[in-house]
Structure 1
Amino acid sequence: MAKTMTELTGGCQCGAVRYKLTSKVQDPHLCHCRMCQKAAGNYFMPLGGVKRDDFHITRGEASWFHSSGPVRRGFCSNCGTPLFFETVGHDGMAVTLGSLDDPNAVPPVSTYGSEAQYSWLGAICAQTGRETEESEELDGYSVKEIAATNHQHPDHDTKEWPQNS
């Protein structure tokens, strides 16, 4: 069940673009349509919406790509993270749920674009997984080396960006 918290924050992987939502996210869902698959570079795009007045960019500026006539998608031009989905002229903004600092606060409750949903997705998600730390190596690099050189922004707002190490 989604938290009743009325303020959520999020941002891109590098921290150049940060945002705040000041109302509950509506209609959190996974979109499987081919356009969202391409935009996410993934099998689906998790999205949820708020009214435009409840959406605030708190750091940086998003870049935009018009993926169709009425729709544009916001992303960080520095690291490429997909962040927003907007139907131009409408009073709302959707955010990618994975870009929230606490994605678990807004679990998807439905799916769209089922015509493009992959038949094997449910079965693979039902399998027992393993944690990253359980792997000693990823693509020839030790997991410890990857973690020690992580450039990802933390999952919370920071006073400055880039952060001083």
Structure 2
Amino acid sequence: MYKGSCNCGGVTFTVAGDLAPPSACHCGQCRKQSGHFWVSAGAEDEVLSVTDSGTLRWYAASDIAKRGFCGTCGAFLFWKNPDESHTSVALGALEKPTGLAISRHIFTADKGDYYDLNDDLPKRAQ
């Protein structure tokens, strides 16, 4: 069981199951939304439970994705393709210990010019 929340506690969530191996996304949207690259792991929708005090907001970021965030504190919590049966959850929002580790980097062609990727993890340009 994983538990997570935004900064102000207006949005909390639990994952009562496994998370997919975490990815670090370096796309321009994730960098702008989070302030750096964004690390998330997919949870099947059937095991993800969100409790919201009315502050959860969704932003249609593209034709295929929406991003969930707290309208009070601004914490970026979820990434969702409405056509898929899973939701990506922000690893930074999870309570420790998670026992998780980044498994790969994605959208590395779009990464910021102010950092390097010096680890041995798989890297996907798109």
**TM category, shorter:** 0.7 to 0.9
Partner of 1:87: 81
Q: Residue 66 of structure 2 is aligned with which of 69, 72, 76? A: 72
Q: TM-score, normalised by structure 2?
A: 0.84
Considering fraction of residues, name the structure with more helix: 1
Partner of 2:107: 113
Partner of 2:43: 50
Structure 2 residue runs without a partner (length 5+):
120-126
Q: In 2, distance between residues paired with 1:93 and 1:34?
A: 19
Q: In 1, distance between residues paired with 2:97 and 2:108?
A: 22
- What's the CA shift for 1:60? 2.5
Q: In 2, are the aligned partners of 1:25 and 1:50 still within 8 Å (CA)? A: yes
Structure 1 residue runs without a partner (length 5+):
1-6, 126-165
Partner of 2:122: none
Q: In 2, distance between residues paired with 1:59 and 1:36?
A: 23
Partner of 2:124: none
Q: TM-score, normalised by structure 1?
A: 0.65
Q: CA RMSD in A?
A: 1.8
Q: In 2, are the aligned partners of 1:19 and 1:56 still within 8 Å (CA)? A: yes
Considering fraction of residues, name the structure with more strand: 2
Q: In 1, distance between residues paired with 2:107 and 2:97?
A: 21
